[in-house]
A and B are shown apart, each in its own frame.
Chain A
């Protein structure tokens, strides 16, 4: 109890410092949003493994570290330093350093007329009415302490607005850079993306870190998909191996929308990736596609919550995981079909490859169905690299490391193939390749004993 209080004291201090300087704290709605969220955070505190939604993920390492808000660091960064992290050939790239928009490091070209892409803090200061309409309207701070914490410290992040009927052909790329500090530092980037009726666009969130050190990035994106929009969202986590990253993507889908969420988790020490679409309008479709590759001692948790709130909506979840070393992976796939959501068609598949005996994978489907005319299926598999396939490749002259990498890549390709061809997919493919090369090259000693059995799998139809 004493330690719990001490954790909160740290945040109390941070919050009172934050309140003195926060952008537009005088605006009553914004002040209330922040203060209510902070009160909520204080009330519930960090989750423990007794909490069903956090059963497989212990966040005490985050709770026990005295993180303080990262305030500086941006001044030391140059464009050259960021070059290796950017996606080549993408015209609009917004850079955020420790959650703060860095205009001087950003590139804003080729955006169609009327499209706004900039920092949230600046937008709040210059035109708070448009922000007030959406900010915090979709995220449920009562569900999750991290969402509450993010909302308490809401200030900067990306703000993107796509006007009605606009087709944005090039991806809008958001690069989040965490820079280490002498002391543990945290940031709470908050992104608000509003796509109006009948628009089409692609957004990429890419999380990287420049230096080592304890960093905690707790990010929330509210993606508002107006009626008939076609949107793609990518989340790429590739921070260093000490970083903590908690992210929540809350998607609000209107009528006949088509939204795709791709998550690629490669980096970080402890990563929790929440994807929460609500199919609020009739006939909406959403595809949730993900790949996580963990090695060493990484902990990668994927928490999907798909809410079917309207009739005739479809959702597809496909998550593939590769774990090596003593990495721990989690896939929690929850589907809620509300009473009126008749003719729902929901599908969920989670496939995992475990390369060492010391890895752990927890996969858990959770279907809550309150309508009576629905189709929901889910399935999960856990297996190893097949000895037969490995021998087949080797018997044709391909060396063992290359053969292993080829098989891992083939498994990862299932996710890659769901991404549209283009610079983003090329970028992701390069990152996956690099990561798999490391995994395939890992010495057998780190992998534990090798088995040829086919593993377990199950499938149910409900």
Chain B
């Protein structure tokens, strides 16, 4: 049984159909990359899997870990082990990063019937993850993402992922806006989390991130459909030729 199985998924936002029948199967231990031009529906797929309510599933099925993902609320999906790293992490003034993360971790632990972790036990674990991402401990007492640089925000997303240890991680354009040093740190953070129990979906526009996180599979999303799937070599082909030919093929294949 696959960890994630998407069948003929259609998603609309504000009555515009963005995803027009996605089929995708992801097994535990695999890293998949979803690539595509702007507006192809990559982020919509990520948001729909994270169960954002404004992304309206009009038809199709998604089974995750044997359960119906589309019946879950965002918090249920998270507690079941789905994590999405946001393309645009949200600033939340007035809630400290450390408090937020501990609340999230404990919400998930409660859901799974585990004991909550108190602030004392949380701290050492937290420090270790901070080191992994080369983050300043001071950021933890600041409000969530408030006044963080672009790179700090993205690193903060990966930090959350490292603390919450999801079964399925979806990185929504985590590489965008990162300089090469930050990109390496983020990629190392993600790569360190690869294991046979966990699947990772890397949504990206460019191939660059995939030099550091080498995917097992690459899918090309154009106009709301996956038009090609292949191995890591597909990413290199895209880098060389661009999305143009595939977009043209997609237009050709789509009945008017």
Contacts and interface: CB of A to CB of B under 8 A. Distances in A.
Q: Interface majority SS on A: helix, strand, loop or mixed?
A: helix
A402 B107 contact: yes
A397 B164 contact: yes
Nearest to A388: B90
B254 interface: no
A398 B94 contact: no
A414 interface: yes
A389 B144 CA distance: 10
Interface string A373-396: 000000000000011110111111
A402 B53 CA distance: 17
B86 interface: yes
B94 A394 contact: no
A141 to B, nearest CB: 41
A397 B92 contact: no
A395 B54 contact: no
B84 A395 contact: yes
B132 interface: no
B92 A410 contact: yes
Contact of A397 (B54, B93, B111, B143): B111
B93 A394 contact: no
A458 to B, nearest CB: 19
B160 interface: yes
B58 interface: no
Given A410-B93, A411-B94, A452-B54, A397 B86 contact: no
Contacts of B90: 386, 388-389, 391-392
Q: How large is the interface on A (under 10, 10 to 19, 20 to 34, 35 or more residues)?
A: 20 to 34
B92 A396 contact: no
A397 B94 contact: no
B103 A406 contact: yes
B94 A395 contact: no
Nearest to B89: A392
Interface residues of B, number: 31
A414 B160 contact: no
B79 interface: yes
B73 interface: yes
B52 A397 contact: no
Contact of A399 (B77, B107, B160, B164): B107
A351 to B, nearest CB: 11
A49 B30 CA distance: 68
B54 A387 contact: yes
B111 to A, nearest CB: 7
Interface in B96-152: 100-101, 103-105, 107-108, 111, 143
23 contacts: A388-B90, A391-B52, A391-B74, A391-B90, A393-B104, A394-B74, A394-B78, A395-B51, A396-B101, A396-B107, A396-B164, A397-B104, A397-B105, A398-B75, A398-B107, A399-B75, A403-B75, A406-B100, A409-B94, A410-B93, A411-B94, A413-B94, A414-B94
